[in-house]
Amino acid sequence: MPDFAALDGVRPRGRRVLVRVDLNVPMKDGRVTDMTRIERVAPTLRELADKGARVVVLSHFGRPKGRDSTLSLKPLVEPLSEALGRPVRFAPDCIGPDAEAAVHALKDGEVALLENLRFHPGEEKNEPRFVEALARLGDLYVNDAFSAAHRAHASTEGLAHKLPTAAGRLMQAELEHLSRALEHPQRPVTAIVGGAKVSTKIDLLTNLVAKVDALVIGGGMANTFLHARGTGIGSSLAERDLADTARAVEARAAASGCRILLPEDAVIAPDLKAGVPTRTVPITSVPHDQKILDVGPATVAAIQRLLAESRTLVWNGPLGAFETPPFDAGTVAVARKAAELTRDGRLLSVAGGGDTVAALAAAGVEDRLSYLSTAGGAFLEWLEGKELPGVAALSINKAR
Ligand code: 3PG
Ligand code: MG
């Protein structure tokens, strides 16, 4: 478990608290399309405001190159204010006179949101002068952005060198659950890793096989492993040039006693389209002009049996092309089994990363696992066994 100060020991009344959150939420036509990240940071902001802090909310949004009005945080004021049940002021800059005036105007228990940190290049460069300009706005720094903790930016890392630092409630929950799942887990531990590509998850697979008892590989990346084993995969998506990499992962798994479970049957079709005719075949019988688009029922049953024998599950990535029904069926069936075992107290289930949350939400289990991380890239880097700069920084200058 990483070393950090939680909010319990902090007395923020009357103090200006810089709270780094991740409001990098999906938006369409100026409206937030998924409130998850906002709802998940709301408890920290409410707790600080209720304790009389002057709450200064910092976030990035998108990847602007300089100031870019299409990536303003202003449209987030309203949804954030609704989630908090109190007004939120807005400052059109995150440093300088506008920011200072907004912070100065705050009374105890009030909240201000500052404009997108990434409008200033100093944020991503973790530039000392920019860190200094931010630090001037606060007396205390609370990092509640686990999902941005893989970035060593001014607001995720630099500030910890300047101000007494605490982890927010979401950061704390993420760290506690993730540690429970991989640092000192109840065994057996199973990992499910899906998604399209092996190439983006080589480090993750290499780290996981050394830690877990069983690894289920699904999605497009399973095709690469099947191909490496000499199984015909027809015209399926795969990274055929990564056969050696797949074999190296298998060898490492064998050496550390991790069982690898690949699909034993598949749902196939000539193309990835809704409404195409599909067939279920044994994995050794995929015709040359067909694509593997989901795991078949025998594979689902095997994964469900494995989960029933496991005590801990770490899940990243869907098992099939879940955005296009019926190729979501495998992911949905396995997700429901995980939810059922979790409900019965037989499984600690933790999931996260990019598409995973969308896939589990589509299966209707997003509230029924033990923990669903809000993080994409940070969750993956944590699965890779890397130290996240934003997490490491929490111990530099612990608030008391
Ligand atoms: C995310 O959405 O993964 C985080 O907000 C980090 O965003 P970034 O990848 O642009 O740093
Ligand atoms: Mg990202």
Q: Show the tokens assigned to 208.
A: 């996981």
Q: What is the pLDDT of residue 354?
A: 78
Which ligand 1 atom sits closest to the C-alpha of 378? Answer: 3
- Is residue 381 in contact with ligand 1, taking CB distance under 6 Å? no
Q: Which ligand is nearest to the CA of 153?
A: 1
- Rounded distance from Cα 147 to ligand 1 centre (Å): 7
Digit-coded pLDDT (tens) for 65-118: 999 999 999 999 999 999 999 999 999 999 999 999 999 999 999 999 999 999
- Rounded distance from Cα 378 to ligand 2 centre (Å): 8
Q: What is the pLDDT of residue 369?
A: 96
Across residues 32-46, what is the average pLDDT?
A: 95
Q: Residue 51: pLDDT above 90?
A: yes
DSSP labels, 43-85 = HHHHHHHHTT-EEEEE---S--SS--GGG-SGGGHHHHHHHHT
Q: How confident is the model at residue 138 (pLDDT cuts 50, 70, 90)?
A: very high
Active-site residue numbers? 37, 197, 354, 377
CA distance 268 to 290: 6
Question: Do 164 and 399 meet the contact criterion of CB atoms below 8 Å apart?
Answer: yes
Q: How confident is the model at residue 362 (pLDDT cuts 50, 70, 90)?
A: confident
Q: How confident is the model at residue 251 (pLDDT cuts 50, 70, 90)?
A: very high
- Is residue 145 in contact with ligand 1, taking CB distance under 6 Å? no
Measured between alpha carbons, how far is residue 277 from residues 76, 293, 326, 348 in Å?
A: 43, 12, 10, 37
pTM of the predicted model as reported, rounded to 2 decimal places: 0.93
Q: What is the pLDDT of residue 400?
A: 87
CA distance 156 to 162: 12
Q: What is the pLDDT of residue 104?
A: 98
CA distance 315 to 386: 17
- Least confident range from 17-26, 152-161, 174-183: namely 174-183
Buried b (16+ CB within 10 A) or exposed e, 299-309: bbebbbebbee
Q: What is the pLDDT of residue 56?
A: 99
- Is residue 22 in contact with ligand 1, taking CB distance under 6 Å? yes
Nearest residue by C-alpha to atom 6 in ligand 1: 148
Q: End-to-end alpha-carbon separation of the chain, Å?
A: 19
Which ligand 1 atom sits closest to the C-alpha of 24? Answer: 5
**Ligand 2 (ion): which residues have CB within 5 A?**
376-377
- Is residue 63 in contact with ligand 1, taking CB distance under 6 Å? yes
- Is residue 147 in contact with ligand 1, taking CB distance under 6 Å? yes
**Which sign, positive or negative, has the C-alpha torsion 359, 365, 368, 369?**
negative
- Is residue 148 in contact with ligand 1, taking CB distance under 6 Å? yes
